[in-house]
Chains A and B, each alone.
Chain A
Amino acid sequence: MDTLYIIAITIIKTAVYFGILMLHVAYATYAERKIIGHIQLRLGPMVVGPHGILQPIADVVKLLFKEDIVPAKVDKTIFKIAPIISLTAALSTFAVIPVNKNWVIADINVGLLYVIGIAGIGTYGIIFSGWASNSKYAFLGGLRSAAQMVSYEVALGLSLVGVILMAESFNLTEIVNKQTEYWYGMFLFPQIIAYFVFVVAMLAETNRLPFDLPEAETELVAGYFVEYSGIRFSLFYLAEYLAMFSMSALATICFWGGWTAPPILIKAFPILEFVPGFVWFLIKVYFHIFLFFWLRGTLPRYRYDQLMAIGWKVLIPLALVNIVVTSIVKYYY
């Protein structure tokens, strides 16, 4: 009876979390089109609803009713499984991400490692879709993405080691709690090098500009999902946006103090204490989401050899130096 109760509560929690998350993702696509539009001196979507506010809903309806095309020469099973792997991996990350104090589905001890591990599984969706499509463009996109994600996962993991050293835990709640012990309330300042490495690796992990080589429109048409249409295409699209959210949430939790406000700010303006935690969390997450759109609107794409050089010759040495410095400082103070 007790087990059933826990299972039922977890399912309800997951459903609520899922629903809210999907709403955020839908409106992130709208925000992206609006922000990029304004960066390029356009208006963005304006037709559906006032200022195009209902555009994402119209898009969802359109994608659901589009014909689902499976090309003749594809590997049918893997072609159908690949987007599901992508989406499942992107969604499972959120099981361990705390939005507020105790607002988390699974508060596990190895939360940080779990997020990194699941991000690695997400690569398979892309590689398998590229391979199963039986098309040169898709295959090249898939291989590029595999090499890119495996390389940048190393930098991403190493940049978080500094945070783990300071927090002495892999538990995401514990990491946030540890940050409130400092007067500035975030690991951003002592771990500024790690944060830089993390942000660059985050862009590459989610295949966003300036590192969107797996889908590079000018070279590969659309990269790994070129043969997909309708609902299966939208699953990939959803996975990409969910990955952006999970990476932003990870940056928020590990470097920006999660749902807590900096103690010094609360001391200066005691009224801020009444702001609920999830509001702080969302502000910080949406700062990172905005960063994704901002960089997309302003930076050109890197060449492939430049991408690999940045990953292996700049980011990984920087992250290693950060680990050594953090360990020494931690040992003596």
Chain B
Amino acid sequence: MIYLIFAYFCASMIGITLMALTRKNPVHSVLWLLLLFLHIAVLYLFLNAEFLAVVQVIVYAGAILVMFLFTVFLLGAKELPKGKRYTDLPEGKALIGLSLTGVFIGAFSSITTAWKGKYTIEYIEKIGNTKALGVMLFNEYPLAVFLLGIILLIPMIAVAVIAWRAK
């Protein structure tokens, strides 16, 4: 039963990605992308990572895609321009094909069945997935969290400065 559902989600994610890539109208692409993000959230649920699943929906489906839509609307791109693109050239095709193969080989060779260390499935089930994530982030990687916060702060300051000058 669970394998059937998993198989459905994997197969449909590939299909949805293809649909998103091949749409002529960028707004249709965004709609397919929304469906894809929701499917990815379900994939997190298969890993018992319900917190990540919901964050995926809030951040990617809820916020980032709205930004994509705004960009599409602002540029007023009704349909993509038809012209010669880099991917039409034989060198371009070869480069993209080779690099994708490299990524796949790298990904398949580094597959591990489960994360080894303190955070076993039993431990996470005992204290809860959200709490485990919080404890790990703030106890083991506090520097990374602070750095990420600063990285997110800098564009905010930049935007404020631009808005200040525009006045």
Contact = CB atoms under 8 A, between A and B. Distances in A.
Contacts, number: 63
B62 A117 contact: yes
B69 A127 contact: yes
Interface residues of B, number: 25
B130 A143 contact: no
Contact of A113 (B1, B58, B65, B70): B58
Interface stretch (B49-57, B108-116, B147-155): B49-57
Interface of B: 1, 25, 27-28, 31, 34, 38, 50-51, 53-55, 57-58, 61-63, 65-66, 69-70, 73, 128-130
Contact of B1 (A3, A81, A109, A114): A3
Interface in A72-110: 75, 77-78, 81, 108-110
Contacts of B51: 110, 113
Given A113-B51, A146-B66, A120 B73 contact: no
Contacts of A108: 50
Q: Classify the secondary structure of A's interface with B.
A: helix
Interface string A105-125: 000111001101110110110
B27 A131 contact: yes
A114 B54 contact: yes
Pairs A-B, 6 closest by C-beta atoms: A120-B62, A117-B57, A113-B54, A117-B58, A110-B54, A110-B50
A153 interface: yes
B130 A110 contact: yes
B49 to A, nearest CB: 10
B42 to A, nearest CB: 13
Given A78-B27, A146-B70, A109 B129 contact: yes
Contacts of B27: 75, 78, 128, 131
A247 to B, nearest CB: 16
B73 A113 contact: no
Given A109-B129, A118-B57, A78 B63 contact: no
B22 to A, nearest CB: 15
A178 B38 CA distance: 31
A257 B31 CA distance: 38
A113 B66 CA distance: 18
A120 B130 contact: no
Contacts of B69: 127, 146
